[in-house]
Amino acid sequence: MSRPDHRHRHLDRIAEVRAGRHAEKVGYPIRIREAEVVRTAMVGAGLLRVTLGGAGTAGFESHAPDEHVKLIFPEPDGSVRLPEPNGLMLRWPRPTPTSREYTVRRYDPASGEIDIDIAPHEGGLASDWAQAVEPGAVVHVAGPPGGLIVPHSYDRYLLAGDITALPAIARRLEELPGSARGWAFVEVADAAEEIGMSAPEGVEVRWLHRGDRPAGTGGALARAVTSVSVPEGERLYVWAAGEAGQIKPLRRWVRDELRLEKADHDITGYWKRGVADFDDDH
């Protein structure tokens, strides 16, 4: 008797969640791939886009705007330590290989291209790599391990974050239905870091300029977000990401003021000032 094929079971679950009323994280089969750098280009003044391709990207899956992959980098001695396939998962060596997580900004199944947008900053491992890398260079990509599937049944959507969250916000705005309503707040240094975004007509996009203030400081983003007025009786979905301390007030706001159910919001620290390779396990 043949064994049932569970390889695509996650696609059925994704369809169920999309047709439902509440957001849910759905896992995908996790793969390790050897990709090639196709090109790099600035997106606005604050993001450096690295486009990956090659035979190794065939069969890549991309289902959620905030899903992430791990880019695996050589160790100080020049060796590359990779996870091994283990069924639908990966078995990671110990100690864990040097890696950094990034949002999948775009995946084109026809060309096999994957876009990763990196915010360049002084002394960052992936930032330094992205600024120096040349087309043809090999990079190993693990994941994505899954993504947050958000139904299109909410009355309004609220998206917020700094430039590290901009790739996920831009992709989610593109993937929302044209009838969607809501707000998107993005904090950047200045107008040069703003980018063009395809937002539904009913979604107001607001850029917040921090000026000379260091990234990840100040309360401007939280103040702007918490100033919105949600019409009574409407179902709201909130997604926010950025510097962990800066978005912390939003956790209290959705819990104490909006009283949203856990499935109706996702607030994640993408980075923390002074901490390399920060991992928000909230």
pLDDT at residue 20, as a whole number: 95
Q: How far, CA to CA in Å, does 20 sit from each of 17, 202, 234?
A: 5, 22, 16
Q: Which CATH superfamily is domain 10-147 in?
A: Translation factors (2.40.30.10)
Give the H/E segment covering residue 117: strand 113-118
pLDDT at residue 277, as a whole number: 62
Residue range 152-271 in CATH 3.40.50.300: no
DSSP 179: T
Pick from 25, 96, 10, 120: nearest CA to 61: 10
Q: How far, CA to CA in Å, does 160 sit from each of 41, 141, 168, 216, 226?
A: 24, 27, 10, 13, 11
Amino acid at 120: P
Pick from 193, 173, 174, 192: nearest CA to 183: 173
pLDDT means over runs of 10, the chain (282 residues)? 59 94 95 98 97 96 96 94 95 95 96 96 90 97 96 97 97 97 98 97 98 93 96 96 96 96 96 72 42
Give the position of tokens 């997604």: 239
pLDDT at residue 122, as a whole number: 84
Do residues 157 and 237 make contact, with C-beta atoms less than 8 angstroms apart? yes
Do residues 185 and 221 make contact, with C-beta atoms less than 8 angstroms apart? yes
Domain boundaries, the chain: 10-147, 152-271
Euclidean distance between CA atoms 134 and 50, whole angstroms? 10
Amino acid at 271: W
Question: For the chain, how big is the Rg over CA atoms in Å?
Answer: 19
State the pTM of this model: 0.93
Give the position of tokens 């301390």: 245
